[in-house]
A and B are shown apart, each in its own frame.
Chain A
């Protein structure tokens, strides 16, 4: 009886509750980068007052509607510069995205290794 009591009292001790906190990092976004553009090349035709008839005739011969969208030399220059600015902005934005990805998500790559 005494032995049984000793065994039972030994088992019934109240344990101290231990609470621990573990920091769970926020899940990484890891979005895929957009597919690079694949653009079509277009054909520029220069028309002057001298070659206009010849140009339109050639278009008709090739089965192309004899109609052209025109730009003056100044507007052509502006168009070229606008495209260069868009290209630069695209490059900067892409680079910015890469830098952010490297800064915030490179640890994930290291963890995987």
Chain B
């Protein structure tokens, strides 16, 4: 009788233990599933972050490129201005003595163009005429790089 009770107790304990173990496994399984979902979501967030960073880097590179291009064309305008004064050892002073009226007219024309260049640099929108200028006779010779976007020097 005692042995029988002992075995019944043993079986009951084993069954209860098995039941608890299965329950624990189910609980662990649920936690693992939740973890997997969280990990997937974290990976997706990381990928979005990496994509956004890539996009930012591209934008930064583009902005730098645009800025360098602008600085370089503006530098060229300045060099062209220097050439206009000193091309082939030109002496503007002597020219002005020899052809006073003509140089005065050229100076006033260039001054008006340079004034317009400052307006453009300060944000003034380009006129149709400035945008469509493609010939040397149509451009603003003081700052073609900013005043005449369609002009290609020839």
Contacts and interface: CB of A to CB of B under 8 A. Distances in A.
Interface of A: 33-46, 48, 50-51, 72-74, 76-77, 80-81, 83-88, 90-92, 94-96, 99, 102-103
A43 to B, nearest CB: 6
A102 B66 CA distance: 13
Contacts of A77: 85, 92
A33 B85 CA distance: 35
A102 B107 CA distance: 39
A91 B116 CA distance: 13
25 contacts: A35-B123, A36-B123, A37-B119, A41-B112, A42-B111, A43-B108, A44-B104, A44-B108, A46-B107, A48-B100, A51-B100, A73-B92, A76-B107, A77-B85, A81-B81, A83-B114, A84-B81, A87-B114, A87-B118, A87-B121, A91-B121, A92-B67, A95-B66, A99-B66, A99-B67
A22 B122 CA distance: 41
Given A37-B124, A38-B119, A84-B78, A72 B93 contact: yes
Contacts of B91: 73
A95 B70 contact: yes
Contacts of B120: 91
A81 B79 CA distance: 10
- 10 closest A-B pairs by beta carbon, nearest first, are A73-B93, A36-B124, A91-B121, A36-B123, A37-B122, A90-B121, A88-B74, A99-B63, A46-B104, A44-B107
Given A36-B124, A92-B70, A80 B114 contact: yes
B117 interface: yes
A104 B63 CA distance: 12
B143 interface: yes
A87 B82 contact: no
Interface of B: 59-60, 63, 66-67, 70-71, 74-75, 77-78, 81-82, 85, 91-93, 96-97, 100, 103-104, 107-108, 110-112, 114-115, 117-125, 142-143, 146
Q: Chain B's interface: helix, strand, loop or mixed, by majority? A: helix
B70 to A, nearest CB: 6
Contacts of A45: 104
B85 to A, nearest CB: 5
Contacts of B97: 48, 50
A34 B142 CA distance: 24
A103 B92 CA distance: 46
Contacts of A51: 100
